[in-house]
Structures are given as structure tokens and as C-alpha cells.
Structure 1
Amino acid sequence: MAIAGGACVAWRRPLLALLIGLAWPLGASAQPVPPGFTPFNKPQFGTGVHTQPIEKNGPVSFTADQIVYDRDNGIVTATGHVEAWQNDHVLRADKIVYDRNTDVVAATGHVVLLEPDGEVLFSDYAELTAGMREAVMRGMRSAMQENARLAANGGRRTDGVSNEMSRVVYSACTLCKDDPSKPPVWQLRAYSAVDDLDEKRIKFQDATMEILGVPIFYLPYVSTPDSTVKRESGFLAPDAGTNTFIGAFVALPYYYVIDKSSDITITPWLDSTDQPQLETDYRQRFNNGSINIETAIAYDEGAMQGLFFGKGDFSLDENWRYGFNINEASSANYLRDFIIPGYGNDVLSSTTYLEGFGQGAYSRLDTQFYQGLLNIVNNAELPYVLPRYLYDYVGTPDELGGYVTFNGGGFNVLRFLGTDTQRINGTPSYNLPEMGPMGQEWNFMARLYAAGYEASSLNQIPNFSRYSSATEAQLWPVAAAKMNWPFSRTDGNATTVLEPITQFVVRPNGNGITPIDLIPNEDSIDPLFTDANLFSINRMPGIDRLGGGLRADLGMHFAWFDGAHTFDALIGQSYRSQTEYQIWGPGTGLGGNISDIVGRAYFQPSDWFDIAYRFRLNHDTMQTEFNDTTIGIGPDYFRVTLGYIYSNIDPFYYYNQPPSLTLPPGTPIYQGYNFPRNEVLLGAQTKFGNWRMGGYIQENMALNEPVAYGLNGGYEDDCTIIAFNYFDLFTDYNGISNVKALMINITFKTLGQFGFPLM
């Protein structure tokens, strides 16, 4: 211990105990170092961002390399790695001078205030009183979570609960490493700001938003919750824009916190055509689930319109859950006018469900109903599924290595106009995989399709049967054997695989069990034959239509790869003992004894080129019946995509084709199904730095007319996201074609998102 001049006493660390009674305030006492805090190391921050109010009577302790106490003047001077803490609030500086007479602490040199919730305040100079509750800072800077930063010429803390700042700049953008003086991508510059720690809000006055240092717009007052607040009532960023149907519009969302588990957003829309809308979005979380209810009401097209979108999911226990997803709207045009998700779809679907999961088992009970959005769809003809039950089970392997599966269930389908169907079904199956002596991979399967039906109005949509009603059952036993016989060869880094695939399926003759039009068809209306279902036992999407007779499926799989290059191809064909035109219909390639040839090929010779090709060829003429080709050219920073699709039939003819193509007078409407689909797509995508840009053109080759144009792009860095999407649709939707839309979204990190949909 050294004594200088008889009036000043100097101590060196670790004589912290000698500071008891000398440190400010007079009532302070020494306390242990706060848990988790190690002097001269970075503190463990919490999850918040802004400071918390300081307790008024908490004890203060500090430590330093050297402490000098002037007894005559009552001044304590601490220098060298000075740290003081009170209630987990920590002050660091090169030098701290405490005047016991005025209760003022002056901190100079690398002043840092560490708050328990994560905020770090930097200052060139700070004066503190009343145990850090009062402070004046010069050259104040704040580092927050999510990379947010706030700087001010000066700041004043009042009673530990309010920070007043002058000449404030706020941003969440990282400064340029090469030139930190360059302005960030965006910053909010304000004449003054108040960080209210009780209200947990930051209030900016006379603020200007700057982009790359250029003032963009002025805000006389901005109030936002600090980042410790996850939910707080108040107005959200408005949406504004214009579209063809309601003109210029503005949406002003107000967010209201009801309680800890629920909130609601209320959004009035105002537009230049006097068609206002009121929209609500209610959310609530429970211990076992959540709900989200969206409603809206508007005066649109001369009438009151609205919507109800509701979704909920709940858990009963670890194995069972239930929920609902209800979607209803007054019209498709209403969804279009107010740019509501769902516009452009054929239907809005709704369901309620109860489902359970077990060991190898899945069970589901649900209801389903639909609302048609197309003018040509009669809602009275759409089904109400009240209810449907599904059960799936996969057993464990037995002593032979085989396993049992079971798929079953039932449904009750009702229509106001059309066929009403009740069905109960079960499909047990036994599968036995085996390895052959020469590397063959065998799979033997025995299956029984069993179903019982009760149907009324069978002669109406969608069956149009000869019979008006039916009570029928079908038992459909199937046995199959499939063999994959892969041959592989490795030459250096390259591997070649040649794999013949054969499958034999034995079934009863379909014409000898039940007349096909006595079985209502609810799940097998849209059959497709591709390489994906070449070796499927049942190529239909459901079980209401099942092929019969003997069947042989033959295919050849070839693959070559060496790590950097890949080629993979499959080609195959099917042979049957009987024709099935009544089941498969024209144009599917499966009606006769010999199927069309289907296949796929994928080739990637380098990272900048790849081609995927899927096809179906007529087995008699080798004419292309289906072609889906996609070619990608170029590196990631500039990628060009070419796409081509051709189909000899078009089930979406009246939805996809421009209105210029009409059927000759007197032609039945269903003949539109037989018009080929022939379209080409050209797209490009580029990336350079933080920017991206892309676009596409879709053309109808048969009509030499455009189907759609599109352009998209954006910018994204650590603090800003700007995205836009423009498209022009020439397809006919409810009698409207050539629909244009432009959507722009701007997101400023920590501030919010601004959307500008234009249509």
C-alpha cells in the first residue's frame, strides 16, 4: 500500500473490500460478482435488446487496476480496466471519478454500459448519478441484437427508465468493411428519440428514411416497440397500390393484443371506386394447439361480399390430433378484386379431421367439401364427403422376411345434383422380398381389393351410367412377381448400371365380375400412364376402377455416373391379355393389349447443363403422345431454362386455352378434351451480388399465341429485402383474360414489411 501526500490513499486490485463504504452511493455494500459474469470477458446476454429499468436501491460494486481515494475532497478515482456493476447492470471505462459530495460519477475513455437483457451502450463520456439511474452521455452508440445499431450526438437517462437522445441515427445494416463512413443501405435519421423502458417503445421525432444516404420520405413521428417486445398493439405498415378492378387503394392494418395467447389484426381497405372492405385476422394459441380465423366483408360489384378462412390444429395426446381448415368466399371475382389468396384456383376446399399415429399404423376420419370458383362449375354438382375414414397399416417382417400391409376405409359422398355414393373397402396385402442366386431382387405380392357400394342417381354426374342406382360389391384378387436384375461395372471413377425389370400380374378378367357402370367412380376419374406408374399394381389413382386379366410389364433401366456427370434413363411397355378401353378411355395409351411406350431420361454432363425428358410414344406409329422436356443451361449466376410440353389430350382445355380457340358449331363440349396441349416455356434467372432477376415466356405453339409472361427480381442483404413479381396471364378465367399483376414487397429488418400489390 502506498500513501501519497498524506491526503490521498491508493490501492491496487484485488483490495475490493476496502471500497465498501467508499463507493457510491453511501448506502452501497459489496456483493458477489453476478452469476455468469466474469470481469474483462464478454457478458452473457439475454434475448432482449433494450435496457430494463434499474432498481433504485440495489448495491453497487466495482473493481479496477488502481483506485485512489482523496479523503479531504471525498473523491474516488479508479483507473485501468474499471468495472462497476449494480443489479446486473455493468459499467466499464478506462477511468471513473466518483465525487461523494455530489454523488456524481464521471466515466471517460471507452465507456461501455452492459445491460442484463443484451444491449450494449458505448459513449465517449458519461456522467452518472443516483446509482446509474440518471446519466448524461456524449457520443452515444448502442449495439443491439439482430445487428441493430443506434447512434446519437448525446443522450440523457432519467430515473433509469427513459433514454432521451438527440440527432439520432438508427439502422440494422452492416457497415462497409472497406469504408465504414459510407452510408448503410438504409437508416432512419431523426432529430430526437426517446427510448421508454417502461413502455418498451422507441419514439422518433422528425425522422427521415434514407436509402444509400439519400432521403426518400419524411416521417414526423414514428413509434415502434423495442426488440424485447414480441407483441404490442398498434398500427402496422400500410399497404397501398392500384389494380384494374378497384382502382387505387390503401389498407391500414391495426394489430391488437388481446392477451398473452391471442391477438387480432383489423384492416380497413379504402379505394377510389368506393368499394370498401373490412378484414380481420384472429389468432390464438392454446396449450394443445392453435387457431387462425380470417374474415372479411366488402361492398364489391354492387353487392355485399365476404369470406371466411379458418384453420385450427390441436393435439389430443402424443398419438392423436384433430383440426379444421375451412375456406369459403362469396365469389371468385371478389377474391380477384381484393387480391386474396385462392383466386385462380378451380375450387376452395375445406376439411375437418381427426387422425392418429401408431406403430406402423395411421388412421384418419375427416369431412371434405368444396366451393367451385369457375363460372362453368355448378356447386350443386360438387361432392360433400360426410365423412371419410382411412386406415393404413404396415406390419413387421416375419420369419420369411415378408410383411403384411392393409389399406382400408370408407366414405359417404353426397351431392345436391349428381350421384350419391357410400363405399366401404379394405385391401390386405402380403409382400415377400427375396434375393436370387445371381443377384436378382425379387418381390412377390398377393393382394385382395374388396369394396362394397351403395349408389343413387348413378345416371347423373359424374358417372352417367345406364343404371339409376346400384348396390354392388367387388372382390379383386391380384398376385404379382417383380424382378430387378441390376448389373454394374466400375471403371475408375465411373459406374455403369444396366438393370432389366420385369413384372407379371395375375388378375381376374375385369369383364366377368361386375358391369363397369354399376360401380360408381369417385376416385379414378383422371387416369394417366407414365414412367412413374409403369410398374404400379394399380395404375389408377383410386380403387373404383381396376384393370383385369394377365399383365406383363417390361422395362430397362440404365445409369452412368462418375461423381461430376450423370446419365439415368428408363424405358418400358406393358402387355395385357384383354383390352380395357372402357376403363382407361381414349388417348391414355392403356386401352389395348399393348400399351404405349413410356420412359424418362436425365443427363447432366456438367454443372452448367442438364436435360430432363419424359415421354410416351404410340406403340403402333411411334408418334409422340406425351413429351415433357426441361433443359437448364448456364451457371447459377446466369441460368437459362427451356421447357416444352406436349400432350395429345388436354383435360384443362377450357381453363388454359386463350378464348380465341373455339369449337366448331355443333361440336360436343367434351371434344375440347381431345385438343392437344402444345406449349413452350423460356425462362432465365440471374444472380449478381445481392441482386437477382428473372423472367419467363410461355407460348401456345398450336395457336401461336402467348399463354403468360412474367418478370421477377429483387435485392437481399443482411438488413433489406426488396422483391417484385409481375405477370400477364392470357388464359381465360371466368370470362376474363389478359390479367396483369405487379406485386412489390419491401422489408426493412427490425422495422417491418411494406407491400404494394398492383394489378
Structure 2
Amino acid sequence: MTNVLSRLLAATALTCALSNQAFAQGTTQSNTTNPPPKKVVLVADTVHISAEGLLVAEGNVEALADGIRLQATQVTYDNQTGQINFEGPIRITQGEDVSIIADAAELDNELRSGLIRSARVVLAGQMQMASAEMKRLDARFNVLNQTTVSSCRVCQTGEPPLWRIRAKRVVHDQQERQIYFDHASLLIRDVPVFYFPHLRMPDPTLDRTQGFLIPTIESTSLLGYGVKVPYFIPLGDTRDLTLTPYLASETRTMEFRYRQGFEKGGIEFNGALSDDTIRPDITRGYVFANGLFDLGRDYKLTFNLRAVSDDSYLSDYDYSDLDRLNSNIKISRANRDESTEFAFHHFKSLRAEEDNDTLPSLVLQAQTERRYFPTSIGGEIRTRVEAHGHQRRSSVDGDAGRDVGRANASLQWLRNWTLRGGLRAGVTGELAFDAYRTLNDSSFSSFDSAITPSIAVDFRYPLAKIAADGATYLLEPVAQIGWTGGNNLDVANDESTRNEFDEGNLLSLSRFTSYDRRERGAQTAVGLNWSRLNTKGWQSHVSLGQIFRSEAQGDFTQTSGLSGTTSDFLIAGQLKNQTGLLLNARGLIDPNGTLDKASARVGWSNSTLWLDASYIWLNEDLQENRDQEISELALDSRYRLARHWTGLLDWRFDAVSGRASEAGLGLEYRNECVKVELSLSRRFSTSSTVQSSTSVGLSVALLGFSVNSNNKSYDRTCG
């Protein structure tokens, strides 16, 4: 109690003394426009007046003024000059990002200006600037002479830091958050590597500023050796432009990215222009544009525009793996009881075997789906209305020039009941109208329409059990009996060419992807869902299912799992645990025991490993333009080998041909002050438009000058 009281009395005495000095200065300057000095609060264990008339505070001294906090062991205040001397070790903090550690300081009575000796400035806990003497001006500028700057940890072993910048003079502008160097040298260990007469870099607290970003050295078998040097240009608070010259032995390329934010949305453009030796006859390039805007009343406007000069440009420069470009503009609204969308699509294929004149490249679509909950009949009513049209550039009669427009509407009623014993029963009734207009194809009717009624009843019997070990088991048999009337329309199959049986459409009445086809006749679907959830986070799920029909549906392909009167047997499973492991698998087995399709995917994410591995197997199917089976394994992983080392692997293997289609290796070294990435990739191609290529990349980044670069898990420790 006595110690606390003495600190309060000392604080009061010091504050009064500084306030009197501030008042005196304020009265002498009353004829000027300068604002009165800020009040400084001093707290200490003891206070006394020296023989020279100086006010001396000792023991746990703290000074606070206008967001500045200073801690020292002793403070001497001269009432005549207004100067405050601090004896260290001292620590000055301003906000959360600037900290100054020093041996001694001479500051004015507002702690805003003065001289600091043996100073070390720490920015955002990662960048350090050390100097024997530092001048502090107006709490904004820190001027250091003969300065060393680094973000590397320095241990008491005499070993120099991995890198540092040594400058004759350094000025840190805390308001603009910029660091200016005069006569600066970059040293790796103790070896000078680069010299800069003048250099400006952002401090780690600045989110965005004009200047160069991390350069990348690349080497590819198509473009040769080259370097990319991105330059970032902010255009106000809501826009920016990044220009990246790419200079290589076989190309001169300018990459660009433009971003702009608006009050209710934003846009982004990415692209490049190239003059290379691969196609010297043309100027090559691409543009990808994306945008999102809020139109009000829950409506969103989105656009995605894709354009490229030639079919192989994206692959040659490794900008994208897309082989079909979808440009679209959409206006949509989605909420709990409504889904509405108006969309325009333009498709362009980059595949050598596809002709863009005969593909439906222009697509217009408008649809709305709503649901209601009538109290008179109970259950749920869903309405859907859709209009669709697609057009080919070719006007040749037949499938090469066929244009189609359609209109579809449906009214659906759904209701569920819980019966005695826990049995769940549901009924679904639907009445649908389909109308098609076909142009430039005399083999089909120019107009056809139909009304299709359908009804289905389904049953579920969920069972649950808690085992002795606390695990919960769930078992749910499901069954559905349904019927769909009407006849198929005399229209071409343009949209329902790829269909697949899975656990999501087991109880659907029509599993075609569009309305140009509907399943007809009676059908029965049976299935079984099983789950296990234990108390330690493990979860496993298995689903089984099969469909039986009164008549076969000829438009289903063999490997869709839905052809014939008896569908393939569906088996699907999932396994996940608390360590980040996730495993999904699905397979379709036809009634003869032949595997038609299979896929599996493994994901694992934790502090050490990020893994995404997948396998797909498809049997041959001429109806799906597949004259041989497909068996492909893909792997994308990142593994932290040690504290500072991370390995990367990207691999895609074609098991049918017995060779890799893509392969990539990467190695990354990172600590608290540097990040080095080395990558090697190879793309194998059998296409006539896309060539095989090998790429090597190297990038080096000095950490500490950018935000979010201080990941403590990579920091080195002193032994």
C-alpha cells in the first residue's frame, strides 16, 4: 500500500511540474498559431530534487503522452529548458507496430522529438533497424545514421545474419510508413551483393504501396531462360494495377492485373500480351475478367469473360489448364424459398478435335424456382419455370448446325409423415410441361411439346444405437416406388449427353441432366445408409443403392450406371477424422459384375501435411466418345519436411498409357527473414496444338518488408 501511494504522489508531482512548464510555454507562444503542448504523465517509484534543481524520478519510470509510452530506469527533468533525459535501458512504444529500444534518450517535454542513443527500432515485431544514434522528429520521423537493417534473428555467437542492409542514412516515416535508404548495400552474410545509391521500401505495417514485388527467375523448354519482375501501382484506395514484364530468350511478354473495388462490388482483369518465337506471325495474348456487383433486393450481377489469341497460348505460358472457355454474364437471386437466374454464356473450345462452328457456342437461359407452404393441404409446393436457347455458328442442316429453344414449367407437391414405430413416409407429385423448337435439323420436328405427370411414394426407417464405447450407429433403409407418364419428345439429345448414377439422385424421378429427356414408366429404387460416429471425432458413412424399371431408358449410356431395366449397383463411402483426414470413394457395378466407373479421393490437412490425391477409372463407352478406358491418378501435396524446409509434389499419371501426363517438384526454404522457392515441372502432351514442355522456377523473397510475413513457426531459435 505504501509503495502504491508513493508512486501516486510521485506521478502527481511529475505531472504538475510538466503541466506548469507546458503552460508557461503556451503563454509565451500565445501570439502564434501553434497548438498548446500535449500533457505528459510520468509515473515513478521515487521523486526528489537534486542539488542543481533538477527533478529526478527513479525506479520503474513510465512516461505517457499522446499515444507514446516510454519506460526507463531514471528520468531527469530540467524545468528551465523543458528537456527530459532518460537513462536506460529504455523502451519507447507508439501504437502496436513501432517499438524503440535504447540505452539513453534526450527528449522534449512532449516525447515527440530528441536524440536517442544506441537505438534499435522494431517494426511489427519483425523488422529491426539498429544505429548508434537516432534523431526523433515530431513523433513521425526516425533518422538513423550508419544503420543496419534486417529481419533475421541474430544470436550471441558472432555469426552475421543471413542478410542485412547497411546504409549510411535511414529515414523511417511513420506517417507514410515508408523507409528511405541512402547509400545502401545488401549483404548476404558479410558479403556485399548489391549497392543502391537510394532505395525506398515499405515498412511491414503498410498494406499496399507502389513498388516492385518479388521477382521470379524461370526457365522453360519452350520460352527459354527469363525473369519476371512485377511492379505494383496503387491507383487510390480502391484501385490498383500490377504490371509484370516477362523477359526471356524466346519471348517478350507484359503481364497485367487490374483490380477495382466499388461500393457494391468489384472487378478484376488478368491478362498478358506476348511477342515470341513460337508464333512469330501474330501477337499472342489473353484476357480473363471477373466481376461481382450487388444490385439490391438480393440480386447479384456476376460476369466471367475469357478470351485468348490462339488455342495453345494458355498452355505454352502455363497461365491456365482450361481447354474450354466459358464467358458468361449472370443476374441471380437466391434465398431460402427462391432461386432465380438470368444468364448468357459463350463457349469456345481449345481442343484440337472440336470445331467451334458446330458446337453450341451461344446459350441464353432464364429460370426461377420457388417454394410455398400451404396450410390447407400441408407439405411443400415447388414451382419452376425455365427458358433456354442455344445456337451454333454453322447453318448446315443436321447436328452440325442445329439450333434449339425450349420452355419448361413444373408444379411439384411434396409431403412427409412420421408413422408409428418411427417409419417415415413421403409422397411426391409433379405435373410438367415441356416445349421445344428445333431449327436447321430436318431429321427432327420443328416443334414438339408434352405434358408429363409423375408420382412417387418413398419410405425411410431410421434406426439409431449407442454402443458401449460411446459410438453412435445410424442405419436407414430407404425405398421408393414411382411412375412417370407421357412420351418422349421428338427432339435431339443436345443437353443430356452425360448422366451419372450417384447417391444424390437415387430417389429422383428423372436423372437426366436436362428436360430434353425424362425417365418414363414405373420404377423402384432401394437403398441403405449406414453411419458410425465415435466420441474421438471419427466418422464413417456408407451408401448402397439400385434402381429397377419396367422399361429401359435408351438415352442413358452404358457407363452412366442407369441403362437397362436394372441399374448398376451403387456403393459410396466416406471416412474422416479429427486429424484432418477425409476419404471419399464411389463405384458403379453393372448386373454382370463389371465395374463401369470408380473414383476415390483422399484429402489430409494439418500443420505438417496438405494432401489432395484422387483416382478415377472409366470404362470405355462410345456413346460418351470414349473408345478406350480411362485410368488416372492425380496427386497434389505439400509436406513440411523440417522447421524451415517444405517439399511440394504435383503428379498426374495415366495408367492406361503407362506414363505421367504432368509432374512437378518443388522445394521451399523459409525462416523469419527469407523465403526461397525452387520448382521443376514437366507437362507431357499428345495434342497437335499443345506441346510438351519443361519449366524451372526460382524466387527469393526477403521477408519483413510486407504484411503477414511473420509466421512464428518458421523462426529460427538460438541454441
Q: Answer yes or no: same fold by TM over 0.5.
A: yes
Q: How does 1:337-486 map to 2 (within 5 A)?
A: 337-340=316-319, 342=320, 344-358=321-335, 360-385=337-362, 387-396=364-373, 398=375, 401-417=378-394, 418-458=401-441, 466-467=443-444, 470-486=446-462
Q: TM-score, normalised by structure 2?
A: 0.83
**Could you say which residue in structure 1 is the equivalent of 2:6?**
none
Give the letter for the 2:599 counterpart: D
Q: Give 1:580 shift.
A: 1.7
Distance of aligned partners of 1:339 and 1:738 in 2 relative to their CA distance in 1, 3 Å threshold:
closer
Contact in 1 for aligned 2:214/2:699 (Cα 8 Å): no
Alignment partners' CA distance in 2, 1:181 and 1:451: 82
Distance of aligned partners of 1:703 and 1:154 in 2 relative to their CA distance in 1, 3 Å threshold:
same
Alignment partners' CA distance in 1, 2:488 and 2:64: 88
Q: How does 1:602-613 map to 2 (within 5 A)?
A: 602=574, 612-613=584-585
Give the letter for the 2:594 counterpart: Q
Alpha-carbon displacement from aligned partner over 1:246-265 (angstroms, at most 9, x marks no partner)? 22222333322332322222
Q: Give 1:636 shift.
A: 8.4
Question: Looking at both structures, which has the greater relative contact order when contacts are Cα pairs under 8 Å and sequence separation is at least 6?
Answer: 2
**In the alignment, structure 1 residue 628 sits paired with structure 2 residue 599:** yes
Give the letter for the 1:575 counterpart: F
**Could you say which residue in structure 2 is the equivalent of 1:573?**
546
Alignment partners' CA distance in 2, 1:642 and 1:90: 53
Q: Give 1:19 shift.
A: 0.9
Contact in 2 for aligned 1:114/1:120 (Cα 8 Å): yes
Q: Give 1:205 shift.
A: 4.7
Contact in 2 for aligned 1:202/1:226 (Cα 8 Å): yes
Distance of aligned partners of 1:164 and 1:181 in 2 relative to their CA distance in 1, 3 Å threshold:
farther
**Could you say which residue in structure 1 is the equivalent of 2:221?**
244
**Could you say which residue in structure 1 is the equivalent of 2:17?**
19
Q: Give 1:718 shift.
A: 6.3
Q: Give 1:165 shift.
A: 1.8
Contact in 1 for aligned 2:40/2:109 (Cα 8 Å): no
Alpha-carbon displacement from aligned partner over 1:13-41 (angstroms, at most 9, x marks no partner)? 42346415764795059xxxxxxxxxxxx
Alpha-carbon displacement from aligned partner over 1:655-678 (angstroms, at most 9, x marks no partner)? xxxxxxxxxxxxxxx896131113
Q: Give 1:738 shift.
A: 3.9
Contact in 1 for aligned 2:266/2:291 (Cα 8 Å): yes
Distance of aligned partners of 1:117 and 1:696 in 2 relative to their CA distance in 1, 3 Å threshold:
closer
**Could you say which residue in structure 2 is the equivalent of 1:332?**
311
Alignment partners' CA distance in 2, 1:751 and 1:703: 48
Q: TM-score, normalised by structure 1?
A: 0.79
Alignment partners' CA distance in 2, 1:751 and 1:470: 67
Match of 1:675 among 585, 607, 628: 628
Alignment partners' CA distance in 2, 1:634 and 1:258: 38
Alignment partners' CA distance in 2, 1:528 and 1:77: 85
**Could you say which residue in structure 2 is the equivalent of 1:704?**
658
Aligned to 1:381, what secondary structure does the other structure show? coil
**Could you say which residue in structure 1 is the equivalent of 2:567?**
595
Give the letter for the 1:539 counterpart: R
Distance of aligned partners of 1:333 and 1:702 in 2 relative to their CA distance in 1, 3 Å threshold:
closer
Aligned to 1:122, what secondary structure does the other structure show? strand
Contact in 1 for aligned 2:70/2:90 (Cα 8 Å): yes
Alignment partners' CA distance in 2, 1:251 and 1:541: 45
**Could you say which residue in structure 2 is the equivalent of 1:96?**
75
**In the alignment, structure 1 residue 751 sits paired with structure 2 residue 705:** yes
Aligned to 1:15, what secondary structure does the other structure show? helix
Distance of aligned partners of 1:110 and 1:396 in 2 relative to their CA distance in 1, 3 Å threshold:
farther
Distance of aligned partners of 1:575 and 1:120 in 2 relative to their CA distance in 1, 3 Å threshold:
same
Alignment partners' CA distance in 1, 2:682 and 2:452: 50
Contact in 2 for aligned 1:24/1:100 (Cα 8 Å): no
Distance of aligned partners of 1:22 and 1:566 in 2 relative to their CA distance in 1, 3 Å threshold:
closer
**Could you say which residue in structure 1 is the equivalent of 2:4?**
none
Distance of aligned partners of 1:201 and 1:605 in 2 relative to their CA distance in 1, 3 Å threshold:
closer
Contact in 2 for aligned 1:722/1:745 (Cα 8 Å): yes
More divergent stretch after superposition (551-560 vs 60-69): 60-69
Aligned to 2:353, what secondary structure does the other structure show? coil
Structure 1: gaps (5+ residues): 1-10, 30-54, 460-465, 652-669, 754-759
Give the letter for the 1:568 counterpart: H
Q: Give 1:350 shift.
A: 1.2
Contact in 2 for aligned 1:420/1:457 (Cα 8 Å): yes
**Could you say which residue in structure 1 is the equivalent of 2:507?**
535
**Could you say which residue in structure 1 is the equivalent of 2:107?**
128
Distance of aligned partners of 1:715 and 1:442 in 2 relative to their CA distance in 1, 3 Å threshold:
farther
**Could you say which residue in structure 1 is the equivalent of 2:693?**
739
Contact in 1 for aligned 2:460/2:476 (Cα 8 Å): yes
**Could you say which residue in structure 2 is the equivalent of 1:188?**
164
- Could you say what the CA RMSD is over the residues aligned between the two structures, in angstroms? 3.8
Structure 2: gaps (5+ residues): 1-8, 28-33, 395-400, 708-719
Contact in 1 for aligned 2:61/2:74 (Cα 8 Å): yes
Q: How does 1:199-210 map to 2 (within 5 A)?
A: 199-205=176-182
Alignment partners' CA distance in 1, 2:173 and 2:579: 55
Match of 2:683 among 716, 729, 737: 729
Alignment partners' CA distance in 2, 1:426 and 1:453: 12
In the alignment of these two chains, the number of paired residues is 679
Aligned to 1:19, what secondary structure does the other structure show? helix
Aligned to 2:420, what secondary structure does the other structure show? coil
Q: Give 1:152 shift.
A: 3.1
Alignment partners' CA distance in 1, 2:604 and 2:229: 45
Alpha-carbon displacement from aligned partner over 1:45-81 (angstroms, at most 9, x marks no partner)? xxxxxxxxxx8852343424344446x8564433334
Contact in 2 for aligned 1:612/1:629 (Cα 8 Å): yes
Give the letter for the 1:542 counterpart: S
Contact in 1 for aligned 2:299/2:333 (Cα 8 Å): yes
Alignment partners' CA distance in 2, 1:327 and 1:474: 38
Give the letter for the 1:751 counterpart: F
Give the letter for the 2:42 counterpart: T
Contact in 1 for aligned 2:274/2:284 (Cα 8 Å): yes
Q: How does 1:216-295 map to 2 (within 5 A)?
A: 217-220=193-196, 221-273=198-250, 275-295=251-271
Give the letter for the 1:366 counterpart: A
**Could you say which residue in structure 1 is the equivalent of 2:557?**
585
Contact in 2 for aligned 1:640/1:685 (Cα 8 Å): yes
Distance of aligned partners of 1:219 and 1:534 in 2 relative to their CA distance in 1, 3 Å threshold:
farther
Alignment partners' CA distance in 1, 2:530 and 2:160: 55
Aligned to 2:352, what secondary structure does the other structure show? coil
Aligned to 2:283, what secondary structure does the other structure show? strand
Alignment partners' CA distance in 1, 2:252 and 2:573: 54
Q: Give 1:402 shift.
A: 0.9
Distance of aligned partners of 1:485 and 1:412 in 2 relative to their CA distance in 1, 3 Å threshold:
same
Give the letter for the 2:314 counterpart: L
Give percent identity, aligned residues only.
Answer: 20
Contact in 2 for aligned 1:584/1:591 (Cα 8 Å): yes
Distance of aligned partners of 1:190 and 1:74 in 2 relative to their CA distance in 1, 3 Å threshold:
same
Distance of aligned partners of 1:444 and 1:337 in 2 relative to their CA distance in 1, 3 Å threshold:
same
Alpha-carbon displacement from aligned partner over 1:143-189 (angstroms, at most 9, x marks no partner)? 3336444333332234654322245444556x59xx67698996533
